[in-house]
């Protein structure tokens, strides 16, 4: 049973977005952390700020700030709550400046900043500035991508005939004229069991470019893996119109999902629009739909 996006309360949607961001960072905790090595003389790499941002349909914004950490600082025996507290950046002043002025975001705990409705305008440019007492300053500029919404969408359980039960999503949307890139996310939602979700993110991401359907309606059916689903499970499905740079960034991250620890530990050549840090300053608006799988 689907819930129309117009009926999703702002607070609930904000919690879903914060969870998406935290999950995308904490995926390194769930099996990609190596065992500690008994070595000496390794130079200490100065941590950098890692930025993730997103706006939701009511124009609330969430900025998630974490910091890179060395692979020797954690293992699969690390306490997840302590590790989350370790990488969250909670001492920052975060501002966003655009045509309507400068807005100061409030701390929402665990490295998340937001709490404001900013009058974002499609195709307008905005500047993010972050000043942390412990990690210094970073900045970035991004242009708001227009919302592209589902024209139709449904989700159901798919029985493979073996031991697996997958989620199957069928959707259609109208592609905007011109070159565009899209990101589809499917996330299992388990109420307020946030810590459990952090340790078992099981988030599914699908990237699309409109090279074969520019300006046309596009529809497909896909199955969500690798996790199994059960009747009564709740999932959130989102569609986002993203920039080419972020598409390339996400494509590389998906290609290297099993060595994602590298992204948060040592400096590597992931594309980024953050000056002085890592991650991405994104201003895209997702169309989010919730489903209970029957």
Per the DSSP assignment, residues forming a β-bridge with 62 are 54
Q: What is the pLDDT of residues 166-178, one digit of tens each?
A: 999 999 999 989 9
Residue 142, pLDDT above cutoff 90? yes
Lowest mean pLDDT among 23-32, 95-104, 270-279: 23-32
pTM above 0.85, yes or no: no
Q: Report the 3 state secondary structure along 135-196.
A: CEEEEEEEECCCCCCEEEEEEEEEECCCCCEEEEEEEEEECCCCCCEEEEEEEEECCCCHHH
Q: Tokens in use for 120?
A: 């974002």
The pLDDT of residue 164 is: 80
Residue 112, pLDDT above cutoff 70? yes
Q: Tokens in use for 291?
A: 């489903």
CATH of domain 2-145+257-285: 2.60.40.10
Alpha-carbon distance of 121 to 143, in angstroms, equals: 9
Per the DSSP assignment, residues forming a β-bridge with 242 are 181
**Which one has a higher pLDDT value, 60 or 239?**
239
CB 264 within 8 A of CB 224: no
Residue 36, pLDDT above cutoff 70? no
The pLDDT of residue 127 is: 97
Alpha-carbon distance of 266 to 53, in angstroms, equals: 22
Q: Tokens in use for 72?
A: 């020797």
Q: What is the mean pLDDT of the chain?
A: 78
Cα dihedral sign, 246-70-198-227: positive
The domain spans of the chain are: 2-145+257-285, 150-234
Q: What is the pLDDT of residues 78-102, one digit of tens each?
A: 555 666 677 889 999 999 999 999 9
**Which one has a higher pLDDT value, 247 or 6?**
247
Interhelix angle 80-87/10-26, nearest 10 degrees: 100
Q: Tokens in use for 66?
A: 């974490």
Alpha-carbon distance of 101 to 169, in angstroms, equals: 40
């Amino acid at each position: 049973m689907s819930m129309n996006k117009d009926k999703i309360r702002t607070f609930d949607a904000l919690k879903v977005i914060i969870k998406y961001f935290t999950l995308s960072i904490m995926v390194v905790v769930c099996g990609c952390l190596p065992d500690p090595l008994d070595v000496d003389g390794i130079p200490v790499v100065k941590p950098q700020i890692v930025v993730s941002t997103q706006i939701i349909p009511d124009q609330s914004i969430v900025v998630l700030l974490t910091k890179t950490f060395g692979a020797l600082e954690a293992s699969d025996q690390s306490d997840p709550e302590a590790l989350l507290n370790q990488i969250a950046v909670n001492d920052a002043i975060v501002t966003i400046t655009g045509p309507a002025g400068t807005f100061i975001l409030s701390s929402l705990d665990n490295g998340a900043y937001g709490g404001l409705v900013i009058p974002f305008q499609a195709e307008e440019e905005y500047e993010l500035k972050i000043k942390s007492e412990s990690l210094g300053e970073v900045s970035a500029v991004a242009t708001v991508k227009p919302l592209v919404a589902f024209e139709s969408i449904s989700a159901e359980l798919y029985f493979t005939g073996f031991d697996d039960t997958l989620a199957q999503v069928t959707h259609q949307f109208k592609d905007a004229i011109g070159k565009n890139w899209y990101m589809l996310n499917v996330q299992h939602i388990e109420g307020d069991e946030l810590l459990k979700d952090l340790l078992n993110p099981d988030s599914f991401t699908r990237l699309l470019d409109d090279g074969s359907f520019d300006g046309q309606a596009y529809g497909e059916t896909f199955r969500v893996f690798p996790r199994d689903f059960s009747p009564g499970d709740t999932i959130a499905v989102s569609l986002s119109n993203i920039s080419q740079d972020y598409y390339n960034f996400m494509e590389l991250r998906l290609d290297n999902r099993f060595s994602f620890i590298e992204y948060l530990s040592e400096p590597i050549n992931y594309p980024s629009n953050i000056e002085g840090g890592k991650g991405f300053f994104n201003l895209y608006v997702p169309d989010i739909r919730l489903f209970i799988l029957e």
